[in-house]
């Protein structure tokens, strides 16, 4: 059952994401609110977006036509039930990468991509985690590839996607570090700029940011 306080917090969170130009929120706004359908991600983030817009976004995602209709629906459901449980909020996702040598992978991600080792388990390590800012990648030892390398390369199968404000400065940083790119920096048809890094085990990591 929807919790009114959580819904209000979610609306404020969407408003802050838009104000901070948090790239992934643009796709959600465009998909849910018809007046944004024709805009690119960059245009959505540059467009005026008020608390009332964020509330409408929350309402429509919950299946209501408007914030007012959502409020009435919540109150009605609360009248029918004496107890309500807050709706769980997903805070983060941590992709798991399969690697042949956790130590070698940690060295690649720290020396080449600027990550920091959060932890490793075992001697030699069979599991670990690296992070850079809000991005976290879990590394799990596997003696053989989980996906056939030729299939992964042919189909461009991504192991993880990482979003950031602008992908170009990071691309130039990685380029200077001698990183191997599966895909160089390019502008996608929907306006975002992306590039893909290939790690020592063939895992493809997508980095995506706003358009130039």
User: Does residue 77 register a pLDDT over 70?
Assistant: no
Q: Which tokens in the block code for residue 58? A: 């929350």
Q: In whole angstroms, give the CA distance from residue 190 to residue 94.
A: 25
Question: Going from the N-terminus, what domains does the chain have, and what CATH number goes with each?
Answer: 4-80 (no CATH), 96-209 (3.10.180.10)
Residue pair 138/127 in contact (Cβ under 8 Å)? The answer is yes
CA atoms within 13 Å, Cβ hemisphere of 62: 27
Tens digit of each residue's pLDDT (9 = 90 or more) over 132-143: 988 999 999 998
User: Does residue 64 register a pLDDT over 90?
Assistant: no
Q: In whole angstroms, give the CA distance from residue 136 to residue 116.
A: 10
Tens digit of each residue's pLDDT (9 = 90 or more) over 25-50: 888 898 889 899 888 888 888 999 99
Give the pLDDT mean for 61-87.
Answer: 72
Q: In whole angstroms, give the CA distance from residue 63 to residue 78.
A: 17
Residue 167 is predicted with a pLDDT of 94
Q: How far is CA 140 from the centre of its chain?
A: 21
Residues 6+ apart with CB under 8 A from 172: none
pLDDT band at 82 (very low <50, low <70, confident <90, very high): very low
Q: How far is CA 105 from CA 63, 102, 126, 146, 195, in A?
A: 44, 5, 11, 16, 20
Rg, Å, the chain Cα set? 21
């Amino acid at each position: 059952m929807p919790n009114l306080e959580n819904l209000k917090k979610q609306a404020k969170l969407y408003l802050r994401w838009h104000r901070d130009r948090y790239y992934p929120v643009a796709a959600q706004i465009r998909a849910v609110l018809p007046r944004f359908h024709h805009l690119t991600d960059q245009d959505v983030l540059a467009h005026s977006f008020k608390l009332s817009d964020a509330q409408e976004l929350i309402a429509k995602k919950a299946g209501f036509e408007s914030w007012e209709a959502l409020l009435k629906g919540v109150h009605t459901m609360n009248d029918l039930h004496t107890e309500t449980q807050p709706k769980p909020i997903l805070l983060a996702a941590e992709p798991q990468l399969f690697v042949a040598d956790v130590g070698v992978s940690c060295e690649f991600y720290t020396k080449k991509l600027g990550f920091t080792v959060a932890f490793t388990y075992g001697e030699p390590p069979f599991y670990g985690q690296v992070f850079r800012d809000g991005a976290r990648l879990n590394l799990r030892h596997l003696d053989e590839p989980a996906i056939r390398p030729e299939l992964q390369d042919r189909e461009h199968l991504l192991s993880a996607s990482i979003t950031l404000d602008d992908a170009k400065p990071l691309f130039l940083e990685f380029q200077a570090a001698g990183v191997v790119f599966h895909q160089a920096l390019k502008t996608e048809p929907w306006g975002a700029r992306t590039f893909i890094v290939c790690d020592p085990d063939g895992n493809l990591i997508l980095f995506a940011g706003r358009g130039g």
